[in-house]
Structure 1
Amino acid sequence: MNYISTLIGVPLGYLMRIIYSLCNNYAVAIIIFTLFTKILLFPVSYKTQKDAARRNLLNPKIQKLKKSFANNQERFQEEQQKLFQEEGINTFSSCLPMFIQMFILFGVIEVIYKPITHILNISKYVIQDAVSIASQDISELAKNGVKNMRCELLTMEHLSNNGDKYTSLSENFFTKVSEFNEKFTVFGANLGKTPSLHPEAWTKEAVILFAIPFLAGLSQLLISVYTQMYQKKQNPVDVPGGGCLNVMMFGMPLISIIFAFQVPAGIGFYWICQSVFSFIITFALNCYLTPERVKVINEKEKEKARIYAEKHPNKKSFMQKMMEQQSALNEQKNNPASSSGKNSGLSRSEQNKQNREKLKEARKRMAEKYGDSYDDDNDEED
């Protein structure tokens, strides 16, 4: 996980450094950074909501499929995926923004935990010396030093009260970090500090830090409530029951609050910005994607899917491959002659061997059909 955070944190840190150099305030830099990533990812957001709106148009057909295959869930799933394929709708498109936001969050965590590295661009050797100085007074650093995830934040805090100990460090360390400490704030609260439910004193900073996790949870709840209300309005028949939906709607913001109390306030502040911008974009796209406009878009996308299928008759999408493979396995599973072997006169070990051979043959046929490589050794290991 640390490797992934560092890998993503390097380019995001470079971007944050540029933004910070322009605005000279870390909280403002986070706001601009969040807006920039939202604009960059707008095509993904648009496609996701467009496909969701198009799926709403297909709801009458999906309802008919549900009635037709009420007692056969596997067949219903197959027919539904065929319908989506014909319409040119990618059922995985809704997952992409979530994964992208997750990776960005890893990078943001890395940047906020290591502002001396990513924002001030000070070398690791100087940072090691600075952490060594701070570790003389901070027991938490004395144990792990630079391996401590909060080492840079703790060093910055220590420097603010013990500046004379850092004046000898190279790369103008003392001046850079001192100036940055003053701008690493939002309304006077240090974004490097972790919010607490029980601060030593209820100062202005403590109140602001205390409020950030709850604002992060409320902003996420705003999106969840709005999305559910919009779905009910657009598709009142096919909205799931309240149980699991309510758990997700209230559970995720609660998890956000708990998480925000465990990490520096800068991460919670980023979460607030991310949720607010997400709500604005979601609301704007919902206003743009009116039923009339979605019908026009749907016809164009359906025609594009038809033309593509005609030009590439042998090319199958990932979902089609999965559907066909699952169908083959289901057929083999449900075939009494191949699954039970009750009338075959074979022993159990012979039946298992026969089933393995058939499964191997099915995998081989699928590989040959789509031009994939096939290795018998993998089946032997299975």
Structure 2
Amino acid sequence: MSIYDIVGVPFGYLMRIIYKICGNYPVSIILFTVVANLILLPIRYKNQKGTSRMQLLQPKLDKLKKSYANNPQKLQEEQQKLYQQEGYNPMGSCLPMFLQMFMLFGVIDVIYKPITHILRISRSVREAAVEVASKLIVEGGGKELSFKNLRCELYTMEQLSKTPAKFANLGEDFLDKVSAFNEKFTIFGANLGQTPNLHPEEWTKEALVLCLIPFAAGVAQLISSIYSQLHQKKVNPTMQAGGCMWGMTLVLPLWSIWLAFTFPAGIGFYWICSAIVNFIITFALNQYFTIDRIKAINEKEKAKAKEYAEKHPGKKTFMQKIMEQQAIYDEELNKARVDENGDKISRSEMNKQNRDRIKEARKRMAEKYGDDFDENDKED
């Protein structure tokens, strides 16, 4: 069982409830995307608060970097002092980001597996259906479809819409249920189980709608990316938005357009909804976290940190422990970079020392276990 299956279960129940209420899959995707993002909102709020506080601290951090450019160890110590004074934990945004990514696995699983989460067809019947779809795809010149493929159900629905008779004897009224679902799996007359094609056999209304979905997904992502870049530049004028960064801003939407042409249109439609909802939430959070509000939040966090330090004078924070371990590692590394006279050694000399240590360790192991050891043996 994969992480998608585990996290997808609760979101699957949510999607099923929404679909039962509205009875239309595209509308269900829109509502599901909104609800899922509202569930993730507290996590995104905390993450955005941490990012905004870091932007507030950035000028002070830049000043420290200039002051201790030639003394990395001292720089780390001063940064740690600053974080303690401000009550800021640079690792604090890691957990919210991890939880957000973890929950997104469930969202993706629900979107990719409507037969599992909405129709509740048993695994054995789904496996048989995917096997039938795989044979049809191979006969058409495509690659074999595996049940482990996350998108196997969407491809199965696509094949069923083309040749329904092949799925007639699978049990649990599979053909009737999926065929009925396919009729509601449409937007503007286009079946979302079909894969968009730039060169369809005939330019029908359905072919046009399917073709527009990938481009709409790319445009939605492009708008969101450009807004994020402009906002970052606004709140942090010293940030250097190089050509590489802007290049990625343009390349990623183009890549998503190409990718959307290789998947069933339901995936592209979800990407459109997700990009729009994410843009709205990001815009709202950016409007909420004004400079004045962040300064007020920062003062409260500083007061909390000061109060905690006074109540627990000898207790070290998690970040302090991390920094101490890093300092020990740096000290050991610096020792390894000098010879017996205290002079710095070159990288090639360091590599030779490391090889000698490994060779000596192998020799001791050979002596311990009675194995042969060749003194002239060289490492690859």
TM-score normalised to structure 1 length: 0.78
Q: Is the alpha carbon distance of 1:89 and 1:170 closer, same or farther for their aligned partners in structure 2, counting shifts above 3 Å? A: same
Deviation at 1:6, TM superposition (A): 2.6
1:113 and 1:264 in contact (8 A); partners too: no
Find the counterpart in structure 1 of residue 279 from structure 2.
279
Q: Is the alpha carbon distance of 1:85 and 1:194 closer, same or farther for their aligned partners in structure 2, counting shifts above 3 Å? A: farther
Find the counterpart in structure 2 of residue 111 from structure 1.
110
Deviation at 1:181, TM superposition (A): 0.4
Give runs of aligned pairs for residues 98-137 of structure 1, distance below 5 A. 99-100=98-99, 102-131=101-130, 134=133, 137=136
Find the counterpart in structure 2 of residue 51 from structure 1.
50
Distance 1:142 1:284 in 2: 44
Find the counterpart in structure 2 of residue 196 from structure 1.
197
1:115 and 1:152 in contact (8 A); partners too: yes
Provide the secondary structure at the position in 1 that maps to 2:55.
helix
Provide the secondary structure at the position in 2 that maps to 1:58.
helix
Q: What letter corresponds to residue 207 of structure 1 in structure 2? A: L
Distance 1:61 1:136 in 2: 63
Distance 1:248 1:145 in 2: 33
Q: What letter corresponds to residue 296 of structure 1 in structure 2? A: A
Distance 1:138 1:58 in 2: 56
Q: Is 1:254 aligned to 2:288, yes or no?
A: no
The C-alpha deviation readout for 1:65-104, integer Å capped at 9, x for no partner, is: 1321233456435533442343222324555565455444
Find the counterpart in structure 2 of residue 224 from structure 1.
225
Find the counterpart in structure 2 of residue 153 from structure 1.
154
Deviation at 1:239, TM superposition (A): 0.7
Find the counterpart in structure 2 of residue 84 from structure 1.
83
Q: What letter corresponds to residue 61 of structure 2 in structure 1? A: I
Distance 1:93 1:271 in 2: 28
Gap regions ≥5 residues in structure 1: 357-382
Provide the secondary structure at the position in 2 that maps to 1:62.
helix
Find the counterpart in structure 2 of residue 184 from structure 1.
185
Distance 1:72 1:330 in 2: 12
Find the counterpart in structure 2 of residue 340 from structure 1.
338
Find the counterpart in structure 2 of residue 24 from structure 1.
23
2:45 and 2:285 in contact (8 A); partners too: yes
Q: Is 1:322 aligned to 2:322, yes or no?
A: yes
Provide the secondary structure at the position in 1 that maps to 2:64.
helix
Q: Is the alpha carbon distance of 1:68 and 1:58 closer, same or farther for their aligned partners in structure 2, counting shifts above 3 Å? A: same
Distance 2:219 2:44 in 1: 22
Find the counterpart in structure 1 of residue 9 from structure 2.
10
Q: Could you tell me the percent identity over the aligned residues?
A: 57
Find the counterpart in structure 1 of residue 369 from structure 2.
none
2:46 and 2:96 in contact (8 A); partners too: no
Deviation at 1:312, TM superposition (A): 4.0
Distance 1:257 1:100 in 2: 28
Provide the secondary structure at the position in 2 that maps to 1:192.
coil
1:213 and 1:257 in contact (8 A); partners too: yes
Q: Is the alpha carbon distance of 1:90 and 1:264 closer, same or farther for their aligned partners in structure 2, counting shifts above 3 Å? A: farther
Q: Is 1:307 aligned to 2:307, yes or no?
A: yes
Q: Count residues with an aligned counterpart.
A: 348
Moved more, 129-138 or 119-128: 129-138
Deviation at 1:131, TM superposition (A): 4.3
The C-alpha deviation readout for 1:128-158, integer Å capped at 9, x for no partner, is: 4444555665436995564565543344334
Q: Is the alpha carbon distance of 1:226 and 1:241 closer, same or farther for their aligned partners in structure 2, counting shifts above 3 Å? A: closer
The C-alpha deviation readout for 1:18-76, integer Å capped at 9, x for no partner, is: 21111111111111111111111111222222222222332332232132123345643
1:50 and 1:289 in contact (8 A); partners too: yes
2:197 and 2:211 in contact (8 A); partners too: yes
Moved more, 35-44 or 243-252: 243-252
Q: What letter corresponds to residue 127 of structure 1 in structure 2? A: R
Distance 2:40 2:339 in 1: 54
Q: Is the alpha carbon distance of 1:234 and 1:148 closer, same or farther for their aligned partners in structure 2, counting shifts above 3 Å? A: closer
Distance 2:212 2:92 in 1: 34
Gap regions ≥5 residues in structure 2: 343-351, 362-380
Find the counterpart in structure 2 of residue 235 from structure 1.
236
